[in-house]
Amino acid sequence: MREGEDEWTGLMRSAIAGDSAAYHRLLKAITPVLRAAARRGLARAGQPVDQSEDIVQEILLAVHLKRHTWDADAPFAPWLFAIARNKLIDTLRRRGRRVFVSIDDFAETLADQPAAETVSAGEVAAHLNALPARQRDVLQSIAVESASIKDTAAKFAMSEGAVRVALHRGLTSLTAKLREG
Amino acid sequence: MDTDQLIRTLAADNSHCARPVGFVLALALLAAAPVSLLLFFAELGVRPDVMAAMHNPFFDLKFAVTLALASAAITVSLHLSRPEASLRGYGWLFVIPAGLLAAGIGGEMMLPQRLPMMTRLVGSNSKVCMTAIPLMSLPLLIASLFGLRHGAPAKPAVAGAVAGLVSAGLAATLYASHCTDDSPLFVATWYTLAAALVTVVGALAGSRMLRF
């Protein structure tokens, strides 16, 4: 478990230095842990666990948009669990449940990470349609059609810079819409 | 959207790197400062006998207290903008302005005074103080909240309260140069009440604005 966490810290340092592949690996590695914790949190709050993937996606978005608040000299796991805990509490509160979420919920799940699987969730997809056209098109292209930034730029006759801007704005407004519920 | 797709999309956005919270907070405060300064110079202005007043250690102490409060609050707010942070290990910073003020009160007690204690405490500017500090705080409070929104505070109300102290400390520094009440007893009473008011507003605003 220690080893896994140290690996996360290393991957996040590389990610911040600009290594997108390391960042991708890190997000893949933390997802099963977040998923197990989200399920546990929902179960404890008496909520159907099939909504856990919405929470996982919300946590991933928050990790992404707030990663500049991580101190690169500190271990990554406590920061991650703090973000995750906050999102989990927030989501449950929005659904009218007040629960106590322990940081241990996350730490415990580190020991037995379930096999990686990909799961679909509805909330992000639903809000995607409400985005401004350009942001939606760019996100659709990159997320759903797996196009690269370069291909997306060519497809919409945009500069790569403009695609990057639309992508980031899209992710930011998506997060804002999720927060509004 | 499935989670793998989302992850791929986030990785594609890795090249976007956000500014540190401290940078955004500093920028926001610099943008708001002219508004507070304008309010100050339009309505109050520096007291006319400021040159003479600077020789009075109790006049100077006001700035030491308010600036100590502002810098403690800025340090704490930046710390709290990280999700895993708590007040522990940082809350003591607020002891510095409080300690300076207490030392000032003690010092004044030991010196012979022309005016009785209650007269010094009540002063002659309490109403202006209670109005001016919160009003001049307002632009700075909005700026602090805006800056902290860029962070990820785990306790939005606490972070908002500290944002209130940032703005109250800065506004009180301006106000101190106008006010002719230099007694630490006056400062401890009215400045504290004004700052508390701004802190409550900050906490209320923060609990809504600083959730991420």
pLDDT in tens, B18-76: 899 999 999 999 999 999 999 999 999 999 999 999 999 999 999 999 999 999 999 99
Look at residue B104 in the predicted model and tell me its pLDDT: 96
Restricting to A residues 129-158, those with a Cβ less than 8 Å away from any Cβ of B are 139, 142-144, 146, 148-149
Helix (H, G, I), strand (E, B) or coil at B2: strand
Q: Which residue has better confidence, A102 or A140?
A: A140
Query: A9-29 pLDDT, tens per residue?
Result: 999 999 999 999 999 999 999
Domains and CATH numbers, chain A: 2-120 (1.10.1740), 123-180 (1.10.10.10)
Asked if pLDDT for residue B153 goes beyond 90, the answer is: yes
Look at residue B82 in the predicted model and tell me its pLDDT: 96
Candidates B7, B84, B212; nearest CB to A62: B212
The CA distances from residue A67 to A63, B17, B82, B199, in Å, are 6, 9, 10, 28
**What share of chain A in percent tops pLDDT 90?**
57
Look at residue A99 in the predicted model and tell me its pLDDT: 54
**Does B34 touch chain A if contact means CB atoms closer than 8 Å?**
no
Look at residue A179 in the predicted model and tell me its pLDDT: 80
Residue of A60, A68, A83, A136 to mutate, interface with B, max B Cβ within 10 Å: A68
Amino acid (one-letter) located at A55: I
Amino acid (one-letter) located at B112: P
Helix (H, G, I), strand (E, B) or coil at A118: coil
Alpha-carbon gap, residue B9 to A167, rounded angstroms:
8
Mean pLDDT of chain A: 86
Cite the DSSP H helix spans in chain B: 3-12, 21-43, 50-53, 57-80, 95-110, 117-122, 126-149, 156-176, 184-186, 192-209
Least confident of A117-121, B84-88, B153-157, B182-186: A117-121
**Does A29 touch chain B if contact means CB atoms closer than 8 Å?**
no
Cite the DSSP H helix spans in A66-148: 76-94, 104-111, 122-128, 133-139
Q: Which residue has better confidence, A126 or B20?
A: B20
Look at residue B186 in the predicted model and tell me its pLDDT: 96
Confidence of residue A105 (pLDDT cuts 50, 70, 90): low
Contact B166, B40 (CB under 8 A): no
Tokens found for residue B49: 């006998």
Asked if pLDDT for residue A113 goes beyond 60, the answer is: no
Single out the residue of A115, A89, A171 nearest to residue A138, CA to CA.
A171
Least confident of A98-102, B80-84, B129-133: A98-102
What are the residue boundaries of the structural domains of chain B, listed by start?
A: 35-209
Which are the contacts of A73, defined by CB distance < 8 A and separation ≥ 6? Answer: none
Alpha-carbon gap, residue A26 to B148, rounded angstroms:
26
Which are the contacts of A14, defined by CB distance < 8 A and separation ≥ 6? Answer: A22, A23
DSSP string, A17-68: TT-HHHHHHHHHHHHHHHHHHHHHHHHHTT--GGGHHHHHHHHHHHHHHTGG
Q: How far apart are the first and last CA of chain B?
A: 22
